[in-house]
Structure 1
C-alpha cells in the first residue's frame, strides 16, 4: 500500500454528513470556519485533501473545492501549490477580516474613524519627549497611576458614572477586562446569560474557560426581561453579559425602562452583571448605565478603542468595592498589565480635553454617514441614536452566509449573523454592516448600493 494512503493517516478535520444542510458547500465552509475561529483547528494545520474529504462525505469534488475556496476568500485558509491547504495564522477567536491591501470595501470590521490618530500621535510624542518619562518603560503601576485613575474617573463622570477612585482599575483593553472578570469571579461550569446574538470574542473566551452561555430571546429593545426571568427561574444563572448601548452585533440601544426591568431580575436572582459599554459615548444624555441602577452587582467596562483609538488598548473597569481584591488578583494572575504609555496617552487626552473633542467630531462624522445609510436603506430603528454599524434583516430566500459570499464576490466585506448566533434557528437572518469602516463616504455609498442590489436581485441562484 502506498505510504501516502488515506488509511495510514487520520483526517485532520471532518464533519458528519448528517449535520450538513444544503447548499452543502456553504454548510461545510460554515463548520470549518467555526472550528478555525474557536481554535479547534490550530493555525497552519494542513486540511484533508479535497478528494479525500469528498470521498468521506460522498459528495462531488467540486462541492469541497467551493467550500475551501469560500474559506480562502474569507482569509481563513491559504493554499500552497503542491503541498495542500492550510489554516491561516492569527485567525482563532477573531472576527474574520480582509487584508487592508486588498481592494475590498471594508464593512465587516468596525473601524472607529482613523482620521484623529494624528492627534493622539502628537500627544504620544510630547509624552516621550518629557525628561522624566523613563518610568513608562518600567514594571510599575500595574493597575494604573493615580493620574490615570483620576482621568478615568473624569471620563466616566462625563458619561454618567460617578464612583470613587478605589472602584476603578485600568486594563489592557475590553477583552483583557472580560478575561479578568471571568477568571476572577466565575468558574468552569458557571452559566452566564447572553443575547441570542452576542460578541464573538466573548463566546470564544467563555468556551475556553468552560463557562456556559445561555441564550436569551430579544426584541427591538434588547434582551427580553420575560425570557430572562423564565430562564432564571428554571436554570441556575450566575451572571449576565450585556451591551446596553449599541449592542454588538444587533446595534440595539436598550431604553431606560428595559434596563430597569433587567436590573430588577438581576437583583432578585443575585446575578453579576457584566456591562460592556464600549459605545457609551454614543448614548443619549440622561440614560443611566446598569452600574448606576445596580452598582452593588454590576461591573462596568468602558474601552476607549472606539471612542479614541483602537491602538491604545485601554479600558476602565468600574466595580463594587467587594470585588476589588478578586479582580486585582485576577489581573496579576493573567500578568497582562495595561501598557503604561497607552495609559498616559489616554490620561493626557482626557485631562487636556482633547478626548472629548475627538468624540464630538466622531459623532458628527457618524451622523453624516447615518444619513447616507438612510438614503439607501431607509429608517428602521426606533430611536435617533448615532451608530457605527447596523443590523439589517435579509430577504427570506437568502441566508447570511450567501449574502456575505455574494458581497465579497462583488467587492464588499460584511459579516453575517451566523457568526454571532447562539442558536441555530437565528443563524441566517441578518447581516452586520459597519458604516464607519469604508475609507470614504463614496465608498460607503457604493458598498451600500451593492448590498441593496443583492437584496433586490431575484435571479440569483444558489447551488448545492
Structure 2
C-alpha cells in the first residue's frame, strides 16, 4: 500500500519516506531515535503497529521490525505483549517547569506576575488571625464548606458557567484537576483528541496514564472540524481536550461558529469534552464556554493560578451528574481534599472583590508588555488576546523550535520550542513560545526581547543554514 494513502489516517508517528536512505532499517531506526531524543515523540507514546508502519512507508515488515529492535536494544522503546510498542519513559524531558539558572532571563516558563502575591499573603494572615482558624487544618469538609462552594459558583458564573454548587468540585490547581479527570473518566489505551500543540503537562499526564493523544490540524480559529470528524471516523476517540478561550501555547481564541461546529461533532460521537479555561480571564471578548452547549458530555476546569496566584493551587471542576461518582472517588483516593486554607483564601478574594483588582492589574501589566513585544516584532499579528501572558512566534524555514531554544539559551534567555507542546505531528510548523509575563520588570523584558530578536534575525539572514537538531 503506498504510504501517501495514509494522508489523513491518525498515526502517532509518520516518518517521511523520502528522508530514508539505504539500508532502510538503519535509516528508519536513526529517524525514530532522533524523534524520541528531540521530544517529537513523547514518552510512553504508543508507536504505530509494525505492519501498519510498513504499509505506510511501503517497506517490508522485516525492515520495520529490525528498526524497532535496534531502538529497543538502546532502551528507547519497549513492547507490551498484546498492547503494542511504546516510547520509554525518561528518554526526554518535556516539562515546562525548569530550574532557575543565575543570570538567565526566564521567558520559557509562564510566571503570572508574582509581585501581586503580597496581597494574597495579607489575606492569608487575616484569615489565620480569625477565631477557629485552626479548623482549616482538619480533614473536615473534603468537598468544601457551603460558603466555599458558593464562592466557587460565583467565580464560575463570571466565566459563563452557571451551574448548581452541588456540581462543582475543588482541586489543587488545574494540573491536579486534569489528573483527577483522566484517572476517573478514562482508562489506559483510550484516545483523546487535542490541538496539534497543547499544554505540555497535559501531554505528560496522558503519557503517564497510557492515554494516547491525537493531535489535530487547526487554523487561526482552532481545531478544524473536518480533522476532528475524520479522526472520529477512523479511530475510536474517547474524548477531546480544548482551551478555546485562550489556547496554550498559541493564544488562539475559538470563535462562536467554530465552537458550535466542534460541539456538534463532540455530541455526535459521544466524546467527553475536557474544557480548560485557565486563561479565560484574559479575554475581553467573553464567549460562552463550549461546555454550556453540551453539559452532559463536558468537564469544565477553571484555575486561579494565572488570574490570582500560582502558589494558591485552587481550581474548580464543573461536571454533569453522571460523572459525580467517578470524580468523587478520584478526589477521595488521590487528594482526600484540597487544603482548606488555600480554598478559604480563594473564597475570601472572591467575596471581597479583591480578585477583580488583582486580575485587572495583571491584565494592564500584560497589555503594556504586549505593546513592547510588538516593538520588537511588528510583523507578528497581535492576535485576539491583547493582554496575553505569552506570544507564539513562528520561525524561519529550516529552524526548529528546539534549535531556536538552544540558541537563545546560549545567549542567556530561556524560551520554549514548539517541540515541548507538540502532540504528534507538527504540520510543518516550527515555533517558540515566549512568556512575556515572566521577566521581573520592563528593563529585563526589553533585554530578553532584544536578544530573541537578534537570534531571529541571524537565522532569517542565514538562508542556506540548517538549524534542524
How does the TM-score come out when normalised to structure 2?
0.79
Q: How many residues align?
A: 397
C-alpha contact (below 8 Å) 2:417/2:432 kept by paired residues = yes
Output the CA distance in 2 between the equivalents of 1:35 and 1:392: 18
Output the CA distance in 1 between the equivalents of 2:204 and 2:387: 28
Q: CA deviation at 1:391?
A: 0.9
C-alpha contact (below 8 Å) 1:400/1:427 kept by paired residues = no
Output the CA distance in 2 between the equivalents of 1:454 and 1:414: 12
Output the CA distance in 1 between the equivalents of 2:103 and 2:336: 36
C-alpha contact (below 8 Å) 1:417/1:427 kept by paired residues = no
Output the CA distance in 1 between the equivalents of 2:330 and 2:395: 42
Listed as ranges, the matches of 1:432-447 within 5 Å are 432-447=433-448
Q: CA deviation at 1:415?
A: 0.3
What is residue 194 of structure 1 aligned with on the other side? 194
Q: Deviation per CA, 1:400-438: give whole Å up to 9, x if none.
A: 111111100111000000111122444860000011001
What is residue 344 of structure 1 aligned with on the other side? 344
What is residue 221 of structure 1 aligned with on the other side? 221
Q: CA deviation at 1:450?
A: 1.2
- 2:283 pairs with 1:283: yes
What is residue 308 of structure 2 aligned with on the other side? 308
What is residue 398 of structure 2 aligned with on the other side? 397
C-alpha contact (below 8 Å) 2:42/2:207 kept by paired residues = no
C-alpha contact (below 8 Å) 1:392/1:430 kept by paired residues = yes
C-alpha contact (below 8 Å) 1:366/1:436 kept by paired residues = yes
Q: Deviation per CA, 1:34-84: give whole Å up to 9, x if none.
A: 4998499xxxxxxxxxxxxxxx99xxxxxxxxxxxxxxxxxxxxxxxxxxx
Listed as ranges, the matches of 1:155-304 within 5 Å are 155-304=155-304
C-alpha contact (below 8 Å) 2:196/2:216 kept by paired residues = yes
Q: Deviation per CA, 1:334-384: give whole Å up to 9, x if none.
A: 135211110000000111110111111111111111100111112414435
Output the CA distance in 2 between the equivalents of 1:462 and 1:268: 43
Q: CA deviation at 1:292?
A: 1.5
C-alpha contact (below 8 Å) 1:408/1:414 kept by paired residues = yes
Q: 1:215 to 1:301 in 2, by over 3 A?
A: same
C-alpha contact (below 8 Å) 1:242/1:276 kept by paired residues = yes
C-alpha contact (below 8 Å) 1:282/1:386 kept by paired residues = yes
Q: CA deviation at 1:387?
A: 0.8
C-alpha contact (below 8 Å) 1:98/1:104 kept by paired residues = no
Q: 1:410 to 1:336 in 2, by over 3 A?
A: farther
C-alpha contact (below 8 Å) 1:217/1:227 kept by paired residues = yes
Higher alpha-carbon deviation: 283-292 or 304-313: 283-292
Q: 1:123 to 1:192 in 2, by over 3 A?
A: same
Q: CA deviation at 1:386?
A: 2.2
Which runs of 5 or more residues in structure 2 are unaligned?
1-25, 46-69, 72-89
What is residue 69 of structure 1 aligned with on the other side? none
C-alpha contact (below 8 Å) 1:418/1:426 kept by paired residues = no
Residue 342 of structure 2 aligns to a residue in which SS? helix
Output the CA distance in 1 between the equivalents of 2:97 and 2:344: 31
Q: 1:433 to 1:20 in 2, by over 3 A?
A: farther
Residue 296 of structure 1 aligns to a residue in which SS? helix
Q: CA deviation at 1:461?
A: 7.3
Q: CA deviation at 1:389?
A: 0.7
What is residue 407 of structure 2 aligned with on the other side? 406
Q: Deviation per CA, 1:108-151: give whole Å up to 9, x if none.
A: 00011111101000000011111211111111211222111111
- 2:457 pairs with 1:456: yes
Higher alpha-carbon deviation: 119-128 or 370-379: 370-379
What is residue 138 of structure 1 aligned with on the other side? 138
Output the CA distance in 1 between the equivalents of 2:425 and 2:261: 27
Output the CA distance in 2 between the equivalents of 1:409 and 1:347: 44
Q: Deviation per CA, 1:308-341: give whole Å up to 9, x if none.
A: 1110111000111221122101111213521111
Q: 1:341 to 1:384 in 2, by over 3 A?
A: closer
Q: CA deviation at 1:205?
A: 1.1
Q: Deviation per CA, 1:172-222: give whole Å up to 9, x if none.
A: 111111111111111111111111111111111111111111121111111
What is residue 432 of structure 2 aligned with on the other side? 431
Residue 296 of structure 2 aligns to a residue in which SS? coil
C-alpha contact (below 8 Å) 1:107/1:438 kept by paired residues = yes
What is residue 368 of structure 2 aligned with on the other side? 368
